[in-house]
Amino acid sequence: MFKRTCLAGLRQSQRLSTLRHSNALSTLAIIEHQNGTVQPATLTAITAATKLGGSIHALLAGSGTKELADKVAKIAGVEKVLFVDNAAYDRGLPESWAPMLVENVRKGGYTHVLCAHSAFGKNMLPRAAALLDVMQVSDIVGIEGEDTFTRPIYAGNAIATIQTSDKIKLVTVRGTAYDPAETEGGSGTVEAASDPEAASSTTWKSEALSKSERPELSGAARIVSGGRGVKDKENFDKLIIPLADALGAAVGASRAAVDSGYADNSLQVGQTGKVVAPELYIAVGISGAIQHLAGMKDSKVIGAINKDGDAPIFQIADVGLVADLFNAVPELTKKVQA
Amino acid sequence: MSKLRILCATKRVLDYALKPRVNKANTGIDLTGQKQSMNPFCEIGIEEAIRIREKHKDRVEDVLAVSAGPPKSQDTLRTAMAMGADRGTLVEISENDTLEPLTVAKILKAVAEGEKSNIIFLGKQSIDDDCNQTGQMLAGLLGWSQATCASEVKIDGDKVTVTREVDGGTEVLETELPIVITTDLRLNQPRFASLPNIMKAKKKPLEKKKLADFGIEISQRFKTLKVVEPPVRKGGDKVENVDAMVAKLKELKVL
């Protein structure tokens, strides 16, 4: 709901700012990719770039990016793709990424740099901002003009409109704030970017990513989340996961459920976890602390099952069921499958 | 093997348990008379520093807590000292001034250089402005390694191994001192300060500095045009049973 209000306001203000600034404004959008595919959150940042107006260039770095650059050139709105084909950038280490970005921003004379507010963007962009001696505008949900943005503060309990006086605007974009850009239809040119080959003082050793056949949490159209009320990991696996599978939904969890070991860290929805905005969010055994609400309250429809009728989750749920989840969830799973 | 000189950055913010209220003029959050506490992620940074000392007794020379803010921020430093920090440095600004992450990073750089720190802990973000920038900016200004959103920190000689939380799981980084580390929630469970330790903390040294001592001026890049409440969700519709829930979800076209 919030997303829509924002967008409506946006379209209007955008028209104005595009008219006023289209000559000088140029944006560099940072492309995140994994296994030869552009990350969905990146496409959202490109949509945000189109709202700013002006030219849009895309930057990607890592091994094999020369091939991927042709794909990126097809993203609607991208005029030019800059790529750095160098394995040194594969792990997104900010110690080498930030100087490379800074060099290309200076060289291209960009007024804006946009990146998804992802683990990578949050880690790298502020370092680049410091090297450029500019502030960063974090986690924007709206663009009011070329220098004016809206962003949630206090865990989403307030929305601030801020204007920056920095000449170069470094911005991270909330993944759920805009629709992703089309990956076909564009006809950008492809060019090698500068590679200062800054050595990283940090070495990447290993990763442990949770493997799942279910949809990825941040991009899922439906999410079923479990909280403390689920009581233990066995129940989580027995109740939450079948319901999610029946709905073709991603699995999420509250911080309480994650801290108690019912679910993996990477499934946490909330201020300190992922921020999601699916079509349908079903909260099971989740009371609805502000920490959690900050991560899911922009969902289109929220369903809640909780035995405590006074739980705060019911104040925002579109469909609330006061019931014992141990009876209600299996019944719901069965009825959804039917 | 170098001695460890640990710096912990702390910020005083509206207590996490309180619901922030937008002020009548729509210019910010009303903080008058509201309880303020140490940012939860900063507490985790202090706790980790203290645990490092407990583990590497002879190596840790100093654990310094630093805060930049109005005079009241010294309460936060006393809390840090009650938890186990050796001393505190308050970089004082007036009640009406605002510090942005870039300025804070510049202040911390100056303090860290003066103190010859080689490990700096910051929270991954403060729960008021939700920026998640200061640690990364500081590492960039110092030219040090950075490890953000840390859920595990191991120090072995001059080698530092950090597990960090990323989208979809965790990754492990290896580097050498010096390093800037920002803390995630899962790094540890901060201890409570005991009453005797709170009393002792009152006698620990607290140094007060001004921005001018570091040759830094308040530079405000951002102007807050307005602060509003988020659009209110109209919820609260309850149904009787699972059948009614399914029917309602179908009616809303999400099933």
Predicted local distance difference test score (pLDDT) of residue A23 = 56
* Length reported for chain A: 338
Over residues B134-146, mean pLDDT: 98
CA separation for the pair B242, A252 (Å, rounded): 21
Predicted local distance difference test score (pLDDT) of residue A322 = 97
- Taking contacts as CB-CB distances below 8 angstroms, the residues of chain A near B170 are 207-208, 265
Strand partners for A161: A150, B226
Predicted local distance difference test score (pLDDT) of residue A2 = 46
Which residue from B132, B175, B254 is facing A202, i.e. has the nearest CB? Answer: B175
Q: Is A265 annotated as a binding residue?
A: no
Domain ranges in chain A are: 26-192, 222-337
Q: Six-digit token pair at B235?
A: 């919820």
Domains of chain B (ranges; CATH) run: 4-252 (3.40.50.620)
Task: Write the burial class of residue A72 (CB in 10 Å: 0-12 exposed, 13-18 middle, 19+ buried).
Answer: buried
Q: Is A255 annotated as a binding residue?
A: yes
Query: Rounded to whole angstroms, what are the CA distances from B8 to A245, A274, B129, B164?
Result: 45, 27, 19, 18
CB–CB of B173 and A336 under 8 A? no
Question: Model pTM?
Answer: 0.91
Query: 3-state DSSP helix/strand/coil percent for chain A, to nearest 5?
Result: 40, 30, 35
- Beta strand A148-153 pairing with A142-145: antiparallel
**Shortest alpha-carbon distance between residue B243 and chain A (Å):** 8
Q: Is A287 annotated as a binding residue?
A: yes
Chain CA centroid to CA A316, Å: 22
Q: What residue type is B30 in one-letter code?
A: D
Domain topology for A26-192: Rossmann fold (3.40.50)
Q: What residue type is B121 in one-letter code?
A: F
Band (A135; pLDDT cuts 50, 70, 90): very high
**Shortest alpha-carbon distance between residue A70 and chain B (Å):** 26
* Percent residues over pLDDT 70 in chain B: 100
CA separation for the pair A287, A313 (Å, rounded): 6
Q: Is A34 annotated as a binding residue?
A: no
Q: Is the pLDDT of residue B223 over 60?
A: yes
Q: Six-digit token pair at A151?
A: 């962003």
Nearest CA in chain B to A122: B132
A148 near A140, Cβ under 8 Å?
A: no
Of B98, B181, B185, the closest CA to residue B135 belongs to B181
CB–CB of A158 and B101 under 8 A? no
**Shortest alpha-carbon distance between residue B226 and chain A (Å):** 5
Predicted local distance difference test score (pLDDT) of residue B44 = 97
- Beta strand A37-38 pairing with A33-34: antiparallel
CA separation for the pair B236, B221 (Å, rounded): 41
CB–CB of B130 and A152 under 8 A? yes
CB–CB of A208 and B169 under 8 A? yes
Nearest CA in chain B to A6: B231
CB–CB of A321 and B252 under 8 A? no
Band (B92; pLDDT cuts 50, 70, 90): very high
Name the one residue in this structure whose structure tokens are 């609260």: B236
* Percent residues over pLDDT 90 in chain A: 83
Q: Is the pLDDT of residue A312 over 90?
A: yes
Which residue from B175, B222, B229 is facing A203, i.e. has the nearest CB? Answer: B175
Nearest CA in chain B to A297: B233
Q: How many CA atoms lie within 13 A of A292 on its CB side?
A: 27
Q: What residue type is A41 in one-letter code?
A: A
B222 near A135, Cβ under 8 Å?
A: yes
Predicted local distance difference test score (pLDDT) of residue A213 = 82
- Taking contacts as CB-CB distances below 8 angstroms, the residues of chain B near A124 are 136
CATH class (in words) of the domain with range A222-337 = alpha beta
Nearest CA in chain A to B143: A95
Between B101 and A24, the more confident residue is: B101
**Strand residues in A127-168 grouped as ranges (E):** 136-140, 142-145, 148-153, 158-164
Which residue from A130, A133, A163 is facing B225, i.e. has the nearest CB? Answer: A163
CB–CB of B14 and A154 under 8 A? yes
B122 near B49, Cβ under 8 Å?
A: no
Band (A5; pLDDT cuts 50, 70, 90): very low
- Taking contacts as CB-CB distances below 8 angstroms, the residues of chain B near A305 are 245
CB–CB of B130 and A255 under 8 A? no
Same fold, A26-192 and A222-337: yes
Q: Six-digit token pair at A281?
A: 């969010």
Between A210 and A284, the more confident residue is: A284
CB–CB of A155 and B29 under 8 A? no
- Taking contacts as CB-CB distances below 8 angstroms, the residues of chain A near B137 are 126-127, 129-130
Band (B226; pLDDT cuts 50, 70, 90): very high
Nearest CA in chain A to B223: A163
Over residues A214-241, mean pLDDT: 94
Q: Is the pLDDT of residue B146 over 90?
A: yes
Q: Is A248 annotated as a binding residue?
A: no
Band (B26; pLDDT cuts 50, 70, 90): very high
**Shortest alpha-carbon distance between residue B205 and chain A (Å):** 31
CB–CB of A122 and B102 under 8 A? no
Measured between its terminal Cα atoms, the distance across chain A in Å is 30
Strand partners for B36: B14
Best to test chain B binding among A4, A42, A137, A157 (most B CBs inside 10 Å): A157
- State pLDDT tens for residues A231-270: 999 999 999 999 999 999 999 999 999 999 999 888 999 9
Predicted local distance difference test score (pLDDT) of residue B219 = 86
Which residue from A129, A131, A319 is facing B249, i.e. has the nearest CB? Answer: A319
Q: Is A72 annotated as a binding residue?
A: no
Measured between its terminal Cα atoms, the distance across chain B in Å is 62
Over residues A190-201, mean pLDDT: 96
Q: Is A268 annotated as a binding residue?
A: yes
CA separation for the pair A199, B59 (Å, rounded): 29
CB–CB of B20 and A158 under 8 A? yes
Query: Cis (ω within 30 of 0) for the bond into A215?
Result: no
Which residue from B20, B151, B254 is facing A301, i.e. has the nearest CB? Answer: B254
Of B207, B217, B213, B181, the closest CA to residue B102 belongs to B217
- State pLDDT tens for residues B32-75: 999 999 999 999 999 999 999 999 989 999 999 999 999 999 99
